[in-house]
Amino acid sequence: MAKDLKERYEEYKELGYTVFERLHSKETTDGWIRKYHELQQNTPRNADGTLTTWFASTCELAPLEMLPIVSHPEILDFAEMVMGPFVQLDNLTIAGGERNVSKEEARNKVALWHRDRWGKVPTTERYESPLSCNAISYMVDLDDDYGPLRVIPGSHRKPITLTDEEIFVPHKDEVIVYAKAGDVVFTHNMLLHTGTPNTSGKNRYFFSVYYNRTWLRHTDNHSGPNVQKIVQQARLRNDHRTLRLFGIDEQLEKRANSGFRVADDIQWAEWAAADKAAIKK
């Protein structure tokens, strides 16, 4: 039975991540792969003649396909539960052409242990709401050849540090996440995690849908004509949630100076409900 969002939130606070299994259909993920290759063919080659393998500001490049990913209602509901109704799209990146390595080269290696943008080394084991989150969306089934995701559960609440040598080798407390096509792994920005070298000889396709709070800078360029059309339509609907995704938070001044007399989870839920009720059909 699928977890409800409250169960996920408790898991997330404890572990630093949660997996939304099969959130997207095979038809959807196959469509994303086709779009990835279309973007490759329509993008000038690099100076060395190679194809581009990572694409950023993807909502501008392919708004029809990408907007449903960043605005997926279950993911946004959860993001607002975790960060409050302050959820902005920092960046949407699609990848599929990472370097493949030999099994010998990959033996006892990981890609790079790290915490994400706006993170820090925790100073207390008390849970802190994140400044940013990653909704990592996979388009293929990860196995030992493709290279699974590795996480250190609870490292968003523990002052774990790693040397320059340790960031490239497996960790004694790691958990290996064999995500499937259509899964979304939603992580806390202070969770230590890494990929595993890809030895499959095939492309490992995935999205990084990275959210941060609206008073922080966003990495993607939201000023292009396609994103601005999304913004204009959101204004007509009085859709604060979509406006916030693209850097426009008209509620921020009032909510950032609310007095903070009510517990965050209660206040955030009230604000989120008010934003949904304000949308014009």
Which stretches of the chain score pLDDT less than 50?
Answer: none
Query: Which pLDDT score is estimated for 1?
Result: 64
Q: What is the CATH number of the domain that holds 106?
A: 2.60.120.620
Query: Which pLDDT score is estimated for 234?
Result: 97
In a domain, 166, yes or no: yes
In a domain, 101, yes or no: yes
In a domain, 68, yes or no: yes
What CA–CA distance (Å, rounded) separates 93 from 56? 5
In a domain, 97, yes or no: yes
211, 87 Cβ separation under 8 angstroms:
yes
User: Full-prediction pTM beyond 0.75?
Assistant: yes
In a domain, 41, yes or no: yes
197, 147 Cβ separation under 8 angstroms:
yes
Domain of 207 in residue numbering reads as 5-222
Query: Which pLDDT score is estimated for 8?
Result: 97
Task: Domain count for the chain, please give it.
Answer: 1
In a domain, 235, yes or no: no
Query: Which pLDDT score is estimated for 100?
Result: 81
Query: Which pLDDT score is estimated for 159?
Result: 96
In a domain, 229, yes or no: no
